[in-house]
Amino acid sequence: MKTREEATKYGLSFPDTYLETPFHDPNWELVRVHGSKKAFLWVYERNGYINLNVKVRPEWRDFWRDAYASVLPGYHQNKEHWNTIILDGTIPDKDVKQMIAESYDIITDSPTKRIYEAVKTIPKGKVATYGKVAELAGNPRMSRAVGNALHHNPDPEHIPCYRVVNAKGELAGAFAFGGEHVQEELLKADGIEVVNGRVDLKKYGI
């Protein structure tokens, strides 16, 4: 990751985010979270490189600074809570993305975040209903929010939303996974039997 476009695109891949240029200077772009309007990613050019400011937990702040010479105390921000990432090509994309994701997690303690964390706990070979995921996320009444969050899943590789079914054990529509039978194929790969578009919750439910 070296360009402004790559950084903002990744920042905007997280739920409920938007881009803003609040300083009447197009060099400074902020990716914020709707609702709280808090920024978790600052993008700007400095000394010939695109820089990113990200929020960081104290236990990770010095780890990243020690790991990479291009991670510095936050430029123009509280240096205890923010790091600056210089996109000079020396930091692997996966670590840049991890730092951005960590910043998003710190800024948002949202129901959506809790839903994704709950889905991550569904083990291979099992499924959970929307209601069960809502319960695991701390609010049994937000089943509808579960469906909405999973429809905007930012990281399908690590958030296995295909393991979520409705209260009858029925699979989602084809639109949810990019094609008919995709969810069924993923569940079968997990060792789960699907019969007529339905999973036996007594056997496979958590």
- Supply the residues annotated as catalytic: 161
Copy the structure tokens of residue 161.
Answer: 């939303």
DSSP string, 130-168: HHHHHHHTT-TT-HHHHHHHHHT-S-TTTS-GGGEE-TT
Which of 56, 43, 55, 45 is CA-nearest to residue 9?
A: 43
User: What does the buried/exposed string (b/e) look like for 46-55 if buried means 16 or more CB atoms within 10 Å of the residue's CB?
Assistant: eeeebbbbbb
Which residue matches tokens 């997990």? 190
Instruction: Give the H/E segment covering residue 129.
Output: strand 128-129
CB atoms within 10 A of CB 56: 23
Report strand pairing: 71-73 vs 82-86: antiparallel
Distance between CA atoms of residues 112 and 145, nearest Å: 8
Q: What are phi and psi of 193, to 5 degrees?
A: -80, 130
